[in-house]
Structure 1
Amino acid sequence: MSRVPPLNALRCFEAVARLGSVTRAATELHLTHAAVSQQVKGLEHQLGMVLFERQGRGIEVTGDGRVYAEQVRQLLEDLGEATRRLQARPRRNELVFATFPSFATHWLLPRLPRFRALHPEYRIRIQTSLDFQDLRQGMVDIGVRMGEGQWDGLTALRLFQDDVLLVAAPGYNGGQLPRSLDEALTQPLLHTEETWLHWGETAGLGEAAPNRGISVNDSNVVLEALRLGQALALERRSLVQAALNEGRLVQLSPVTAPYPYAYWLVWPERAESADKQERFSAWIQAEVATYLAALEAPTPA
């Protein structure tokens, strides 16, 4: 006889122990009262011990049963999580890409139709997070991060180094835009620690952020505040260049500074994802080359 009880018996036992009632457990599990009672009795018989004390029409879990129920509950939760992770793994015809929201929204999405046109065989799933996602768990094929290019268990390919510039919506302050850095610094200024650090030094303003500065940890919030005309902002060029090209934003100063972290394409070495990783890598490198070439092209007079 197997030493591991049947899963159905464990589910019934855990539900009865947690709810304190066979009837309520049966309702939760969509089973009959008799079916749940039979599963619990069978489990007690297999274990050779009493898990519940029968008291009239009610039952109460024993001390040993309570300890066992806690362990079974954790086992069922772990099993559920393992199943969720297995089902979340990329399918053969699915490419799962992980990055942070601002890059996905303002750089990747406008270009993504070209990848889909090249590779219509893939269904695309984009997972975004402000935190690094663990690409080693098998649920993501490939991603883009910012950093120094060293992450355990991942291959990293440098894409490009971004720079930071001072921008505003053309309608900010009724269209009366600041005409100097000194004037700009008297206005509400959105920034992150990373965008201010090198830009402030390059502009000769030191490391201390201006008193009217507003620190934000999500570039999408910065870009929405810009769109609403609520502030000026120091932002990465990769996120605002399209808006600059279309006249939705204007650059207020020629001062630019490198962002401290580069963009990296990262992926785990996994045989079942190799073809997808190779195709996406080739495509995004070509897109980066086109993007950088456009930045270096002379501005029309």
Structure 2
Amino acid sequence: MSTLPPLPALRSFEAVSRLGSITLAADELHVTHSAISQQIKQLEEWLGVALFTREGRGLKLSEDGRLYALQIRIGLGEITEATRLVRARPRVDEVVVAVLPSFGLHWLLPRLPRFYARHPRYRVSLRASLDIQDLRQGLVDIGVRMGQGGWEGLAQKRLFDDELVAVASPAFNGGRLPQTAQEVVSGPIVRTVESWLPWCNAAGVAEPGNHALWINDSNLVLEAVRLGMGVALERRSLVHGALQRGDLVQLTDIRVPYPYPHWLVWPQRESSHTKQQDFSTWIEEEIASYLTELPPSA
């Protein structure tokens, strides 16, 4: 005899023990009332113990049933999570990329059609998150991060250094845009997590004190600026496309280094090696092209 009870019987028992009703359990599992009753009877016979006591038309967990239900719930939860992790692992024809939402939206997404054109056999899944995802779990093939490098257990390659520039909508202030650094910091500012101090030091002006709005998400910042709500200091990589299209305007030539470079990071797994190499080669070429479009360093 197998030492493992039938899984349908365990699922039926867990549902009845949690919901306190055969009818509710049947509805949840999309089976008949009699099917649930039969599964419970089969499990009790298999175990040789009564899992429920009958009280009129209702059921009440016995002490053995209560203890068993606690362990079965844990076990089924672990099976569910293990199944989720296996199903979430990248497939052979899938490249799963972890990326910050802002970089994914404003830099990576517009360039992805060229990756598809070169590698039509792949489909790309972007896992956008503000949290640093653990790439060692096997759910992601490759990622783009900002930081100082040195992430444990990951191969990494420095992609490029970013910079901060002051931008506004062409329609900001009725089209009467700030012409000097002092005018930039004197107008309404959409404040972000980025410090104005390095930019102001480079410009020789005091930090702005008149902020119209404070936002901790770059995507919302750029939308607020596009709507003409103020001036913002943002990363070049996020505003480059909007500057080229004319949706935003760089207000002065002053720009300062961003302290956190962009990196390509990946877990070293044989099953993902070809995908990682293909994506790495492509994004490095895209970055080389992007860098040639930037204004020359002063």
Q: TM-score range by the shorter chain?
A: over 0.9
- Number of the residue aligned with 2:222: 223
> Structure 2: how far apart are the matches of 1:74 and 1:195?
47
- Is the 2:192–2:232 Cα contact (8 Å) retained in structure 1? no
- Number of the residue aligned with 2:177: 177
> Structure 2: how far apart are the matches of 1:28 and 1:247?
54
- Is the 1:195–1:236 Cα contact (8 Å) retained in structure 2? no
Deviation of residue 153 (structure 1)?
Answer: 1.8
Aligned residue pairs, count: 297
> Structure 1: how far apart are the matches of 2:296 and 2:117?
26
3-state SS, counterpart of residue 35 of structure 2: helix
> Structure 2: how far apart are the matches of 1:238 and 1:193?
16
- Number of the residue aligned with 2:97: 97
Q: Which amino acid aligns with 1:292?
A: L
Q: Which amino acid aligns with 2:132?
A: F
Q: Which amino acid aligns with 1:241?
A: H
3-state SS, counterpart of residue 50 of structure 2: coil
Following superposition of structure 1 onto structure 2, how do residues 5-84 of structure 1 map, counting pairs within 5 Å?
A: 5-84=5-84
Q: Which amino acid aligns with 1:246?
A: R
Greater Cα shift, 230-239 or 44-53:
44-53
> Structure 1: how far apart are the matches of 2:222 and 2:175?
18
> Structure 1: how far apart are the matches of 2:61 and 2:279?
56
Following superposition of structure 1 onto structure 2, how do residues 128-277 of structure 1 map, counting pairs within 5 Å?
A: 128-205=128-205, 210-212=209-211, 214-277=213-276
Q: For residues 99 and 182 of structure 1, do their structure 2 counterparts lie closer, same or farther at Cα, with a shift above 3 Å needed?
A: same
1:224-277 CA-to-partner distances (Å, cap 9, x unmatched) read 111111111000001111222222211112221111101001111111110010
- Is the 2:190–2:229 Cα contact (8 Å) retained in structure 1? no
Deviation of residue 215 (structure 1)?
Answer: 3.3
Percent same amino acid among aligned pairs? 56
- Is the 2:187–2:210 Cα contact (8 Å) retained in structure 1? no
Gaps of 5+ in 1: none
TM-score for both structures, normalised by structure 2: 0.92
1:67-112 CA-to-partner distances (Å, cap 9, x unmatched) read 3223322322222222122112111111111101111111112211
Q: Which amino acid aligns with 1:276?
A: K
Q: Which amino acid aligns with 1:16?
A: V
Q: For residues 6 and 192 of structure 1, do their structure 2 counterparts lie closer, same or farther at Cα, with a shift above 3 Å needed?
A: same
> Structure 2: how far apart are the matches of 1:248 and 1:70?
58
Deviation of residue 41 (structure 1)?
Answer: 2.1
- Number of the residue aligned with 2:290: 291
1:212-232 CA-to-partner distances (Å, cap 9, x unmatched) read 264322111111111111111
Greater Cα shift, 36-45 or 145-154:
36-45
Q: Which amino acid aligns with 1:145?
A: R
> Structure 1: how far apart are the matches of 2:188 and 2:9?
63
1:179-218 CA-to-partner distances (Å, cap 9, x unmatched) read 2222222322123333435334433457x66342643221
TM-score for both structures, normalised by structure 1: 0.92
Gaps of 5+ in 2: none
> Structure 1: how far apart are the matches of 2:251 and 2:230?
12
3-state SS, counterpart of residue 210 of structure 1: coil
- Is the 1:156–1:264 Cα contact (8 Å) retained in structure 2? yes
> Structure 2: how far apart are the matches of 1:167 and 1:209?
14
> Structure 1: how far apart are the matches of 2:212 and 2:202?
17
- Is the 2:194–2:234 Cα contact (8 Å) retained in structure 1? no
> Structure 1: how far apart are the matches of 2:85 and 2:68?
26
Deviation of residue 15 (structure 1)?
Answer: 0.8
Quote the RMSD (CA, aligned, Å).
2.0
3-state SS, counterpart of residue 23 of structure 2: helix
